[in-house]
Structure 1
Amino acid sequence: MIVVPVKEGENIEKALKKFKRKFEKTGVVKELRRRQAFSKPSVVRREELIHAAYVQQLHQNQE
């Protein structure tokens, strides 16, 4: 459960923004979207390899 302490006189929009930020950090929505569609382990592994190659290429270009 996410708790956002609101100080007296604090703007409700500011408190809502804090709540949204905390909620986003928990990763609930991201996990929900990931679970909505099944992806085969081989497809997940291939995507991880492609991403790793991309990141490695970015690091090599910076050096």
Structure 2
Amino acid sequence: MLIIPVKEGENIDRALKRYKRKFDRTKTMRNLRARKQYTKPSVAKRAQKIKASYIQRLRTQEEIG
């Protein structure tokens, strides 16, 4: 549970912005969406390898050109 202390005389919009930022940093929604459906470890590992190769390809292209 996230607790955001609101200071005396602080604007509610500012407190909401702090709450949203803190919520995003905890990656709660990302975890919930990932847990909605089961992914086999082999599939997760394959996706991780594909992502790594894509990033590597981008870095080599950036290095060359």
The letter of the residue matching 2:60 is Q
Give distance in 1, aligned partners of 2:2 and 2:39: 30
Superposed CA offset, 1:6-32 (max 9, x none): 222221111111101101111111111
Shift of 1:55: 0.5
TM-score (norm 1): 0.87
Q: Which runs of 5+ in 2 are unaligned?
A: none
Give distance in 2, aligned partners of 1:29 and 1:7: 27
**How many correspondences in the alignment?**
63
Give distance in 2, aligned partners of 1:43 and 1:7: 47
TM-score (norm 2): 0.85
Superposed CA offset, 1:3-59 (max 9, x none): 222222221111111101101111111111101101111111110010000010111
* Percent of aligned pairs sharing the same letter: 49
Q: Which runs of 5+ in 1 are unaligned?
A: none
Query: Deviation above 6 Å: which 4+ runs of structure 1?
Result: none
Residue 47 of structure 1 is matched in structure 2 by 47
Residue 14 of structure 1 is matched in structure 2 by 14
The letter of the residue matching 1:44 is A
